[in-house]
Structure 1
């Protein structure tokens, strides 16, 4: 038996409005291709460049709980801010973030990462130093690689010590496109 699309969508939206979801997700079309985005009642929890959601959704269910549904309207605010960013109308995000389950070091690094201004870059070493351990460049690189909310937490702004583009979970082409969008690369 197949449930009609409209009925399915109404079911999902009703579940979200009634507080019956642990997390909601949708696939958002962007300048970089499709992005899987997910929110919980704590805030934005995931952005993934991988349009195949199984692995991300399993991790999200472990974090937030098993009731995870594709509910497009729950992502309206995220979609709007990402659209504004890609259109050049937004240089920072006003979204609440759900960073539960991350280590203290990761939270410290992501907190410092969030302070790197739009259109500017910083090296892994500089970010490590600002995070409290100048010799933790490689550990900072791992945090950037596992950043659960790229673009909003701008790991694309972190570059190698020579200024070269290295190590981006979404691929170096996307990193370059984001830096060009922000005017950090001409």
Structure 2
């Protein structure tokens, strides 16, 4: 039993393979809390240490947890082109304030196969001059893919930056039909 009188670890994680490389998925009791791109051993270890520090509990590897098992199914379905909307509970505890407001708007208001400009997203949360701050919020997104920061692009038509790398962003946008599949 933990300090809250509940059995089992407070945060569990696993690494899954995907079309964009290994992803670390971490979940707490309230839902999926973190998705990390390029989860090689070194990246995974740093991500788990960061989670432990930020959440005050040691994450435990547990791919068999019901929430992670469902997350794995939904990610596999998304990457197979069969899922357009994730139906997972999300734990927003790693993000707050303006960043959380922007990411919640992104999650609910920018559907699969569409994109939005940084400035337009800023306007949607009542801060029309905050395009750069929206970019910072995208970089701080603890739940990429599920909270689709890859769908935020430059107003002039450029793809913009991406925490998982521009090539990963291109591949996600191609998967959703926004961009053509890369030739090689």
Q: Same fold (TM over 0.5)?
A: yes
- Displacement, 1:65? 3.1
Pairs within 5 Å for 1:46-125: 46-51=34-39, 52-74=43-65, 75-114=68-107, 115-125=109-119
- Displacement, 1:63? 3.6
Instruction: Confirm or deny: 8 A CA contact 2:33 2:94 kept in the other structure.
Output: no
Extract structure 1 runs of 4+ deviating beyond 6 A. Answer: none
Instruction: Confirm or deny: 8 A CA contact 2:21 2:38 kept in the other structure.
Output: no
Could you give the per-residue CA deviations for residues 15-58 of structure 1, whole angstroms, max 9, x where no partner exists? xxx72211000001100010011000010000001412232212
**What residue in structure 1 maps to residue 3 of structure 2?**
none
Q: Provide the secondary structure at the position in 2 that maps to 1:46.
A: strand
Q: Distance in 2 between matches of 1:153 and 1:101?
A: 13
Two-structure CA RMSD over aligned residues (Å)? 1.3
- Displacement, 1:101? 4.1
**What residue in structure 2 maps to residue 13 of structure 1?**
none
**Which one of 141, 145, 150 corresponds to residue 147 of structure 1?**
141
Pairs within 5 Å for 1:121-140: 121-140=115-134
Q: Which has the larger radius of gyration?
A: 1
Instruction: Confirm or deny: 8 A CA contact 2:24 2:37 kept in the other structure.
Output: yes
Instruction: Confirm or deny: 8 A CA contact 1:26 1:71 kept in the other structure.
Output: yes
Q: Work out the number of aligned pairs and report it.
A: 169
**Which one of 15, 18, 23 corresponds to residue 27 of structure 1?**
15
- Displacement, 1:67? 3.0
| Gap runs ≥5 in structure 1 | 1-17
| Gap runs ≥5 in structure 2 | 1-5
